[in-house]
Amino acid sequence: MKLYSFLFTLISTTLIFAQSTPYVSDVWVADNGDGTYNNPILYSDYSDPDVARVGDDYYMTSSSFNSAPGLPILHSKDMVNWKLINHALLVQVPAEVFNVPQHGNGVWAPAIRYHKGELYIYWGDPDFGIYMVKTKDPKGKWDEPILVMEGKGLIDPCPLWDDNGDAYLVHAFAGSRAGVKSLITVNKMNPEGTKVIDRGVHVFDGHENHKTVEGTKFYKRNGYYYIFAPAGGVPIGWQLILRSKNIYGPYEEKIVLEQGSTDTNGPHQGAWVDTPDGESWFFHFQDLEAYGRIIHLQPMRWKNDWPVMGKDFDGNGVGEPVKTHKKPNVGKTYPIETPAETDNFDGNDIGLQWQWNANSDVVWHAKFSHKDYLRLFSIIVPEDAPNLWMVPNLLLQKFPAPSFTTSTKITLVPEGATSGKTAGLIIMGMDYATLSISVDEQGYFIKQTEAIGAIKGVEEQINAKERLKTNTAYFRVEVSAPDAMCQFSYSENGKNYKKIGKPFKAKQGKWVGAKVGLFSVSTKDAKRYGYADVDYFRITK
Distance, in Å, from the CA atom of 497 to the CA atom of 113, rounded to the nearest integer, reads 49
Instruction: Confirm whether 525 is a catalytic residue.
Output: no
Q: Can you name the residues that pair with 282 across neighbouring β-strands?
A: 272, 298
Cβ 67 vs Cβ 396: under 8 Å:
yes
Residue-by-residue pLDDT tens, the chain, 541 positions: 444 444 444 444 444 444 579 999 999 999 999 999 999 999 999 999 999 999 999 999 999 999 999 999 999 999 999 999 999 999 999 999 999 999 999 999 999 999 999 999 999 999 999 999 999 999 999 999 999 999 999 999 999 999 999 999 999 999 999 999 999 999 999 999 999 999 999 999 999 999 999 999 999 999 999 999 999 999 999 999 999 999 999 999 999 999 999 999 999 999 999 999 999 999 999 999 999 999 999 999 999 999 999 999 999 999 999 999 999 999 999 999 999 999 999 999 999 999 999 999 999 999 998 899 999 999 999 999 999 999 999 999 999 999 999 999 999 999 999 999 999 999 999 999 999 999 999 999 999 999 999 999 999 999 999 999 999 999 999 999 999 999 999 999 999 999 999 999 999 999 999 999 999 999 999 999 999 999 999 999 9
The active-site residue out of 31, 45, 48, 320 is 48
CA torsion sign, 41 to 266 to 539 to 395? positive
Distance, in Å, from the CA atom of 45 to the CA atom of 379, rounded to the nearest integer, reads 28
Query: What pLDDT was estimated at residue 20?
Result: 72
C-alpha distances (whole Å) from 333 to each of 18, 35, 163, 283 are 21, 8, 34, 20
Q: Cβ neighbours of residue 142 under 8 Å, at least 6 residues apart? A: 71, 86, 88, 89, 121, 133, 134, 135
Instruction: Confirm whether 459 is a catalytic residue.
Output: no
Cβ 111 vs Cβ 123: under 8 Å:
yes
C-alpha distances (whole Å) from 23 to each of 36, 67, 84, 85 are 19, 23, 10, 12
Distance, in Å, from the CA atom of 268 to the CA atom of 171, rounded to the nearest integer, reads 16
The active-site residue out of 214, 320, 478, 533 is 214
Cβ 191 vs Cβ 166: under 8 Å:
yes
Query: What pLDDT was estimated at residue 19?
Result: 54
pTM for the whole structure? 0.95
Domains of the chain (ranges; CATH) run 46-326 (2.115.10.20), 355-540 (2.60.120.200)
CA torsion sign, 38 to 40 to 44 to 50? positive
Strand-strand pairing, 443-451 and 167-173? unpaired
Query: What pLDDT was estimated at residue 5?
Result: 46
Q: How far apart are the two ends of the chain, measured CA to CA in Å?
A: 46
Query: What pLDDT was estimated at residue 18?
Result: 45
